[in-house]
């Protein structure tokens, strides 16, 4: 595996790369509050069959995290930089693995460039209203009435206990090592103005929900080869969101694994085997 940076529109994007350049590209897009580190094991399992590439989003991990004065922390803007990353690497055709925040970014990319998409893995990457867990009801009220007090309240999402809970809830005891959530907390404590940048994205998440009908229209029109593989105990993006893909892509494969939100941490081999079987 190689780790390196590439410049996109004046900002450095860090990425991990493995496999062989003559193999089909698999682009792995991470979510909140993680980085490309979440794909460290999956990349090793896919590299014989695919050219695997996993970037850190702007504001996450080892990529640049510009000030809020010079960069808008919105999902549309994050997508612009992933789009620029794809162009900078001259990726003409690709599979995508989308997770959490990576889903609305990935589906924006798919809508912009449907001709590039060979297939999609959605792992707890929701694009359906029925996939939104209970917490999103309160988020919707916040979006309608964005007070300073609620913005401060949602900064609890960056605490150690909350992040650890995202990794461990719904998993078998002892199945999740601390490496992933400890690294996420490290970045939260070292990236300048992290809480405000991430709070901007929490507020902007409403734009993703508004785009769900467009994402679904893309699916119906283009019928991408799609694997929805879900940590079925996830309270944030519930398993009904995985099942909903079948409504728009009847040939989609839907699988639940015995895990929570960060299913790769405890079920990586099972997920990799299903990817290799479905797309191999």
Q: What is the pLDDT of residue 16?
A: 98
**Domain-wise residue ranges, the chain:** 2-279
**Which residues carry out catalysis?**
261
Provide the Cα torsion 75, 80, 85, 88; round to 10°: 180
What is the average pLDDT score of the chain? Answer: 97
Share of the chain above pLDDT 90, in %: 99
224-239 confidence digits (pLDDT tens): 999 999 999 999 999 9
Q: What is the pLDDT of residue 92?
A: 97
Task: Choose among 254, 252, 257: nearest CA to 226.
Answer: 252
Calculate ∠ Cα 125-111-1, nearest 5°: 60
Q: What is the pLDDT of residue 182?
A: 98
pTM of the model: 0.97
CATH superfamily of 2-279: Alpha/Beta hydrolase fold, catalytic domain (3.40.50.1820)
| Model confidence at 59: pLDDT above 90 | yes
What is the C-alpha to C-alpha distance for residues 280 and 277, in angstroms, rounded to an integer? 5
What's the whole-number mean pLDDT along residues 40-69? 98
Q: What is the pLDDT of residue 280?
A: 78
147-168 confidence digits (pLDDT tens): 999 999 999 999 999 999 999 9
| 10: region left, alpha or beta (phi > 0 left; psi from -120 to 50 alpha) | left
Q: Considering Cα of 110, then 114, then 115, then 121, what sign does the dihedral take?
A: positive
CB atoms within 10 A of CB 193: 16
**Cβ density class 2-36: b for 16+ within 10 Å, e for less:** eeeeeebeebebbbbbbbeeeeebbbbbbbbbbbb
């Amino acid at each position: 595996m190689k780790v390196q940076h590439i410049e996109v529109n004046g900002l450095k994007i860090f990425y991990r790369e493995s496999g062989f350049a003559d193999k089909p590209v698999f682009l792995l897009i991470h979510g909140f509050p993680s980085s490309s580190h979440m794909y460290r094991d999956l990349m090793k399992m896919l590299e014989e069959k695919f050219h695997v590439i996993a970037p850190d989003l702007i504001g996450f991990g080892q990529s640049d995290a510009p000030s809020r004065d010079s960069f808008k922390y919105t999902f549309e803007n994050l997508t612009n930089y992933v789009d620029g990353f794809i162009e900078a690497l001259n990726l003409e055709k690709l599979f995508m693995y989308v997770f959490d925040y990576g889903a609305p970014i990935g589906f924006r990319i798919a809508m912009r460039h449907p001709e590039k998409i060979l297939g999609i893995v959605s792992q707890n990457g929701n694009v359906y209203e029925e996939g939104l867990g209970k917490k999103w009801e309160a988020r919707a009220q916040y979006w309608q009435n964005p007070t300073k007090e609620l913005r401060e309240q949602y900064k609890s999402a960056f605490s150690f206990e909350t992040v650890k809970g995202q990794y461990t809830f719904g998993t078998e005891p002892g199945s999740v090592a601390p490496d992933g959530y400890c690294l996420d907390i490290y970045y939260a404590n070292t990236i300048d103005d992290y809480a405000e940048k991430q709070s901007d994205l929490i507020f902007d998440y409403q734009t993703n929900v508004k785009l769900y009908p467009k994402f679904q229209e893309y699916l119906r029109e283009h019928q991408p080869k799609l694997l929805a593989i879900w940590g079925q105990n996830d309270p944030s993006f519930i398993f009904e969101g995985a099942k909903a893909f079948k409504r728009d892509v009847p040939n989609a494969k839907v699988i639940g694994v015995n895990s929570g939100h960060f299913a790769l941490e405890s079920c990586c081999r099972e997920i990799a085997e299903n990817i290799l079987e479905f797309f191999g």
